[in-house]
Structure formats: C-alpha cells, structure tokens
Amino acid sequence: MIWLWRDTGDADRMAQYAQATFWYVLPSLPMFLLIPVLLKRGVAFWPALGAGCLLTVLLYVGMVALLARIGVKL
C-alpha cells in the first residue's frame, strides 16, 4: 500500500485497492483451516495443499459471482 501511495498519490485508487484486497482475502481464509485438518487426518502435504488451493479457487469464483450480483466491482 505504501508503494502504491508513493507511486500514485491517488486516494481513489488506494481506496479501491484496499476494498478489493478485503474481498479477495475472505475466500482464501478457509484454506488455512482445511489444510491443517487434512494433515492431522493423515493426508499427505501435497494433496492437502492441492485441496486447499482448489477450495480457494472455488470460493474466489463464487465470491466474484456473488459480488457482481450485488453490484460490487473489483
């Protein structure tokens, strides 16, 4: 954020960036819950990571579709 501000000084652009970052972080958080659960149940690291990444991609797609329906532009 500091670099964007330093390079542009554009308050509107900074606000858009911060808002988009919020919406993009939310669908990635469940990955950090799924991976440890899978690892503790004996799933190997790479499949657990793959499942976490797949979950994140699916949630990103869902989040973008939902936000578009309610009028939030990213």
Q: How far apart are CA 72 and CA 58, in angstroms?
A: 19
Residue 73 has pLDDT above 90, yes or no: no
The pLDDT tens digits of the residues spanning 2-51 come to 999 999 999 999 999 999 899 999 999 999 999 999 999 999 999 999 99
Count the helices and strands in the chain (H runs, E runs). 4, 0
